[in-house]
Chain A
Amino acid sequence: MGRKAKAKGTIAAAALAGMLLAGCSSSGGDASSGAASQAAGSPAKGEQVTLKVGVFDRGNSPAGYTATDNYWTQYVQEHFGDPNNIKVEFVPIPRTDATDKVNVMMSSGDAPDIVFANTNPLTSYGYAKDGGLMQLGQLIDQYGPNLKTYLGPALERGKFDGVQYAIPGRRVNTGKYENLIRKDWLDKLNLPMPQTTEEVYETLKAFKEKDPGQTGGKAIPLGFSLTAASIEPIVWSFIQDGLTDEQRYTLSENLGYPVLLPGHKEAVQFLNKLYNEGLMSPDFSLDKDEKQLFQDVMTGKVGMYSDNLGNAYNDTPGIAKVLTQNVAGAQLVPVDPYTNNAGKHLKPEYDPTGFYLMIPASSKRGAEAIKYLDWMAQPDVLNTILNGIEGEDYKLVDGLPQRIASEETTKRMYNAGDIAMITQGQDFGSDEKNWEAAAASVPEPFRKDVVDAYKMSMTDTINYANFTTPIEAENKYIPALQDKYNELIVKSIMAKPQDFDKTYDGLMKDYMASGGDAIEKERKEAYKAMAQ
């Protein structure tokens, strides 16, 4: 009986959760009207106020620290909070499923004064449309001179219908992904670095048949997970050359995957072949956070894989580092092998914006929030947060900060990037310098690989074409389409080769019927309007 009661309770909870959330939010009130006046009303002198700031919790805090209490949160309190009589309280936002969690926070009225979920403008647009976000134009004019200078034109992207609703962080390096290969396996088999997709296939086959890593048949020639970092590098590389502007605008979607562009089906078919020949991770459909993939790489089973740019060599999770400790002589190096019909190494590139920072309309700390971001945008403050203390955490070499290898520094810097949410990376003036700077923050033996990876990530890149105003249908359908796309990918890849066409076309039809059609139609109209 106990089991039943529990099950019932769970259902009730699931069913009622939505209703409860809905109920609480009414306190948010009609936002846009009172927002500016509320925010401008600074507290009287002597009265300490609390500013709540969101911070990503990646579950990777070193001993003694938490995402909300660590070196940098203390630094913020000491250098920004105390002088301004503000108590800065950090509110954890789980990095995985951040968007879901922020949805819940927003609907229950629990969102911190500075909140963010992802790098997609649609999320902010959805909230702004429903009246959930504070208008920021006036506040930034009043309290954010440094912020304005620092963000420059990026700030424009946070405007919807001409009103500033979000503050997009900057993104310095727009490279998105890296492909990695075990060079020691290639050397052992006397194989060259693969230069084309066809050669990748041959290489993977050799990895499987000859098992250069002596894994006892457990080799995974191509490590794969159900994440954009695994899917995008390969599917984009198949997109055909010479797209017209019209194709780019009307057939790409905010989803991020080139699902409608010519070449996508061939890409999935390629993966289907790899899967059926046992050349890629068999349980990739269960791996939604790359954890299994990383584990397989670090234990020396994987021959090749793709990941977010820079991740393989970073201190945390330290994939290359742990691999070389586990497997003597292992060499994980970047490679740029996938080619499309014209022999180009097509790959996606980020917009020059990072996370979209928002202030809920119900917040009473709009002014303090902007002051905080403005404080952070000062060059010396930002430099400190991103690099640590000179002499303790880094030393300057040729004008670039070089990370000092020490346990304390690793511990201290583990979430510095998550504190400096107004930017992803630090700008040193040129791509080359920025790459070198990125390299300087990783352990010495990997620095050359990092520069190579960054360079490769910018070869033959393609941007999604986005309109200046959001597409309404995308706001409505994209979250559900994300699931549909995963389904399309997983089931098409796992289908028997002879069933591939049927499976892919069927799922594609489903995808289009679940919102894909509506988005395409609206994009076509928007393109027509733009072309005139």
Chain B
Amino acid sequence: MSKLAYYRRNWQLYALLVLPLAYFAIFKYGPMYGIVIAFQDFNLFKGVAGSDWVGLDVFREVFGMSSFYKALRNTFLLNLLDLAVSFPAPIVLALLLNELRGKRFKKFAQTTLYLPHFLSWVIIGGIMYQVFATNTGIVNLLLGRLGMAPIPFLTDKYDWLLTYLAVGVWQSAGWGTIIYLAAIAGINKELHEAAAVDGAGRLRRMRSVTLPGIRSTIVVLLVLKIGEIVQIGFDRPYVLGNVSVNDFSEVISTFVYKTGIQTADFSTATAVGLFQAVVGIALLLASNYAAKKIDGHGVV
């Protein structure tokens, strides 16, 4: 079949691709020309075309800022802790859900666990402020009843860190189980039965059958997570954080917001954003390489 005939026959399929491609070109790649303002002394009113070029001066300034390193460190810190706490949580939860006998109760438990995922961080932040407030929050009121001193969950930086992680688990663990449950459903039942015949108890079967069965899923998700470790969502640290805990809550995304939108220093904000993207790609490639070594296949 000649090329022409191939295209003649399949052009509709290619035509279907036009819209999605245009979407990516216009909304994802189009705005990227703005990256150039990281190399400019950007003037709000003169725009990209009219601003002066300054080479790497902006980056020099950024790398000289102590607050930039703090934001970078916190981004790694929060993401690593999240990786340690929030990543295993859905796996454990999926294993537990999988062992539930009653079908109705299982469905109910799953649905209830998904729900927090659909709340926006702004709402979660509002709830968190109410629940954990030092004087009036329900948690501290209960602690008070037990004769304990109130814990400043929101204003002491270490307590805040725990709160941040716990809220993260609460919000995402249930939703995260979906993929694992799907993977678990794909495990051959005979393996379980054979193990049972050989006298393996529940725990043993979880460890020796279910977990190895979803190993590749876990690795793929882990690779994605590690690739994102320098990226951090804006809403969660911004909404949950506050000035008394900014030793931990100031991360790259909030730093970019503050320098970019609040201070109108667009050059610095863009430079930081660009730096973040470059490190992010490097980490993604590195973790993908590692995954290939471990598991034989990666993602990218």
Contact = CB atoms under 8 A, between A and B. Distances in A.
The finding on whether chains A and B are genuine partners in a shared complex, rather than unrelated, reads yes
Contacts of B66: 510, 513-514
Contacts of A15: 256, 270, 273, 276-277
A118 interface: no
A497 interface: no
A7 interface: yes
Nearest to A282: B134
B45 A285 contact: no
B266 A100 contact: no
Q: Which of B50, B257, B262, B277 has the most CB of A within 10 A?
A: B262
Contacts of B136: 218
A21 B266 contact: yes
B78 interface: no
Contact of B228 (A4, A30, A285, A487): A4
A111 to B, nearest CB: 11
A45 to B, nearest CB: 32
A479 B34 contact: no
B34 A19 contact: yes
A283 B135 contact: yes
B242 A26 contact: no
Contact of B47 (A22, A218, A220, A491): A22
A26 B48 contact: yes
A30 B51 CA distance: 11
Given A23-B34, A25-B44, A487 B246 contact: yes
A323 B256 CA distance: 41
A130 B26 CA distance: 29
A97 B259 CA distance: 14
Interface in B250-264: 253, 256-264
A479 B46 contact: no
Interface string A119-135: 00000001100111000
Interface in B24-60: 28, 31-35, 37, 42-50
Given A286-B155, A486-B243, A18 B266 contact: yes
A252 B48 CA distance: 36
Nearest to B47: A26
B165 interface: no
A240 to B, nearest CB: 28
Interface string A3-15: 1101110111011
Contact of B67 (A1, A106, A514): A514
A285 B244 contact: yes
Interface in A20-59: 20-23, 25-28, 30-31
B133 interface: yes
Contacts of B34: 16, 18-20, 22-23
B161 interface: no
Identify which of A10, A15, A103, A127 gathers the most chain B CB atoms within 10 Å of its CB: A15
Interface stretch (B95-103, B171-179, B184-192): B171-179
B232 interface: yes
A14 B242 CA distance: 19
Given A7-B228, A15-B256, A130 B44 contact: yes
Interface string B128-141: 01000111100000
A285 B242 contact: yes
B193 interface: no
B42 A22 contact: yes
A8 B261 CA distance: 20
B43 A490 contact: no
Nearest to A13: B234
Interface in A76-110: 97, 99-100, 103-104, 106-107
Nearest to B253: A14
Chain B interface size, as a band, is 35 or more
Nearest to B134: A282
A2 B175 contact: yes
A327 interface: no
Nearest to A285: B244
A283 B228 contact: no
Contact of B233 (A11, A104, A479): A11
Nearest to A102: B264
B273 A14 contact: yes
A454 to B, nearest CB: 32
Interface string A342-367: 00000000000000000001100000
A17 interface: yes
Given A11-B231, A28-B47, A30-B46, A100 B261 contact: yes
A20 B46 contact: no
B57 to A, nearest CB: 14
A472 to B, nearest CB: 14
Contacts of A377: none
Interface in B131-185: 133-136, 150, 152, 154-155, 172, 175-176, 179
Interface string B208-234: 000000000000000010001001111
A484 to B, nearest CB: 9
Given A131-B46, A285-B242, A19 B31 contact: yes
Interface in A193-243: 218, 220, 226
B205 interface: no
Contacts of A282: 134-135, 150, 152, 155
B44 to A, nearest CB: 5
A103 B172 CA distance: 35
A424 B179 CA distance: 59
B48 A104 contact: no
Contacts of A514: 66-67
Contacts of A132: 44-45
Given A131-B46, A282-B152, A18 B172 contact: no
Nearest to A488: B243
B109 to A, nearest CB: 19
Given A11-B231, A282-B134, A286-B242, A22 B262 contact: no
B235 interface: yes
B71 interface: no
A7 B243 contact: no
A494 interface: yes
B270 A131 contact: no
Contacts of B176: 3
A23 B31 contact: yes
Interface string A273-308: 000000000110110000000000000000000000
A163 interface: no
Interface string A145-161: 00000000000000000
Interface string B1-39: 000000000000000000000000000100111110100
B269 interface: yes
A7 B152 CA distance: 28
Nearest to B247: A491
Contacts of A4: 224, 228
Contacts of B155: 282-283, 285-286, 494
Q: Which 8 A-B pairs give the minimum distances between C-beta atoms?
A: A19-B34, A26-B47, A15-B273, A285-B244, A132-B45, A479-B263, A282-B134, A7-B233
7 contacts: A7-B231, A11-B253, A16-B32, A18-B260, A26-B46, A26-B47, A283-B154
Interface of B: 28, 31-35, 37, 42-50, 66-67, 117, 129, 133-136, 150, 152, 154-155, 172, 175-176, 179, 224, 228, 231-235, 242-244, 246, 253, 256-264, 266, 269-270, 273, 276-277
